[in-house]
């Protein structure tokens, strides 16, 4: 009997403790301590975009801060679309050098596709010719007007800037099939007393494959027009052998005894997906907080 009463008393005590604990937890949920800095408001930094201020005012502090970080990274690493622009260029560097006595010339059209404002596949097609009678030599070399082709790519180191200003390095693989003449070749043989003998070689055909590395600069001048300069270092990989020797001039390459070349081009550029280009912020165009009417909510 006593044991039964003891169990009853213990059960009542446990029920009372459970009820007291539940009431205490309910009171704890309803009462939240207020820190002194909870009601403190902060003014957004000068120059904060209006859309971020509105996110602060709406109470979405986390989203506002995430947008601030995203905008900050966009300024450091602007993201251009995959197809940024397409350029057509006319290289007239050799034409310019003929005014200074150069004995060969070429002109070519180059097509460049700018991708992400970084990688730029390039296709070049052109024509070249040469004519020279070297001093103290007894022949005339005439390289007939012949085509050449180049295929390669550039890497733009100024990918964070506007596409109209570029500093790049690149590589090309070039090929040409051409013909040349060697005329007025005089051969004298004093031993046999033969003088004034001459012969000529016409329509000699040849091919050449070469590679080149280059560095270039491109600068916008007006509207969609730009000027570019290139310095090239090149070398011959393979060429057709002829029993009468090797050609002096290769279209698109230059003279075989030179490893350096120079180019200057005039470009016309067509922007692609321009609506997806990073927006350039101009001075005085950004909306800024000028009074205390727009302030951020408490930062918790």
* Calpha distance 63→123 (Å, rounded): 46
Question: In this structure, how many other beta carbons lie within 10 angstroms of the beta carbon of residue 140?
Answer: 15
User: Residue 245: its pLDDT value, please?
Assistant: 83
The residues facing 186 across adjacent strands are 198
Instruction: Tell me 190's DSSP state.
Output: T
Residue 31 pLDDT level (bands cut at 50, 70, 90): very low
* Calpha distance 114→153 (Å, rounded): 10
The answer to whether the CB of 205 falls within 8 A of the CB of 178 is: yes
User: Residue 58: its pLDDT value, please?
Assistant: 60
Residue 42 pLDDT level (bands cut at 50, 70, 90): low
Please state whether beta strands 83-91 and 254-255 pair in parallel, antiparallel, or not at all (unpaired): unpaired
* Calpha distance 137→243 (Å, rounded): 20
Q: Quick check: 176 pLDDT over 60? A: yes
Mean pLDDT (the chain, rounded) = 81
SS (H, E, C) 98-148: HHHCCCEEEEEEEEEEEECCCEEEEEEEEEEEEEECCCCCCCEEEEEEEEE
DSSP annotation string for 204-253: EEEEEEEEEEEEEEEEEEETTEEEEEEEEEEEEEEE---TT---SEETTT
Q: Minimal CA–CA distance to 146: which of 124, 122, 130?
A: 130
User: Residue 137: its pLDDT value, please?
Assistant: 74
User: Residue 12: its pLDDT value, please?
Assistant: 73
Identify the sign of the CA torsion 247, 251, 255, 259.
negative
Domain covering 83-274 in this structure, CATH number: 2.40.160.20
Which sequence spans correspond to the domains of the chain? 83-274
* Residue-wise pLDDT tens digits, 241-285: 888 788 999 999 999 888 999 999 999 999 999 999 998 765 555
Interhelix angle 61-76/50-57, nearest 10 degrees: 160
Residue 68 pLDDT level (bands cut at 50, 70, 90): low
Q: Is 299 helix (H, G, I), strand (E, B) or coil?
A: coil
* Calpha distance 140→209 (Å, rounded): 25
Helices (H), 36-79: 50-57, 61-76
Residue 297 pLDDT level (bands cut at 50, 70, 90): very low
* Residue-wise pLDDT tens digits, 115-140: 999 999 999 999 999 999 887 777 89
């Amino acid at each position: 009997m006593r044991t039964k009463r003891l169990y009853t008393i213990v059960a009542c005590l446990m029920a009372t403790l459970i009820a007291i604990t539940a009431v205490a937890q309910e009171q704890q949920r309803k009462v939240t301590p207020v820190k002194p800095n909870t009601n403190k408001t902060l003014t957004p930094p000068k120059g904060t975009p209006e859309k971020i201020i509105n996110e602060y005012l709406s109470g979405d502090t986390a989203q506002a801060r995430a947008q601030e970080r995203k905008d900050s990274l966009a300024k450091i690493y602007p993201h251009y679309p995959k197809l940024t622009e397409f350029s057509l260029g006319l290289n007239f560097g050799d034409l310019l050098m003929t005014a200074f006595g150069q004995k060969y010339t070429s002109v070519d059209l180059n097509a460049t596709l700018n991708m992400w404002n970084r990688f730029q596949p390039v296709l070049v097609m052109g024509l070249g010719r040469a004519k020279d009678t070297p001093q103290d030599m007894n022949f005339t070399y005439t390289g007939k007007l012949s085509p050449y082709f180049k295929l390669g790519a550039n890497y733009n180191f100024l990918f964070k800037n506007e596409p109209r200003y570029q500093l790049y390095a690149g590589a090309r693989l070039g090929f040409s099939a051409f013909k040349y003449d060697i005329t007025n070749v005089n051969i004298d043989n004093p031993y046999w007393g033969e003088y004034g003998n001459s012969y000529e070689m016409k329509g000699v055909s040849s091919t050449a494959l070469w590679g080149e590395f280059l560095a270039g600069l491109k600068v916008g001048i007006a509207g969609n027009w730009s000027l570019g300069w290139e310095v090239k270092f090149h070398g011959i990989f393979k060429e057709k052998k002829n029993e009468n020797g090797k050609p002096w001039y290769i279209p698109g390459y230059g003279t075989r005894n030179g490893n350096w070349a120079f180019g200057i081009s005039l470009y016309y550029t067509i922007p692609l997906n321009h609506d997806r280009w990073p927006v350039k912020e101009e001075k005085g165009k950004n909306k800024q907080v000028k009074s205390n009417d727009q302030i951020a909510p408490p930062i918790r």
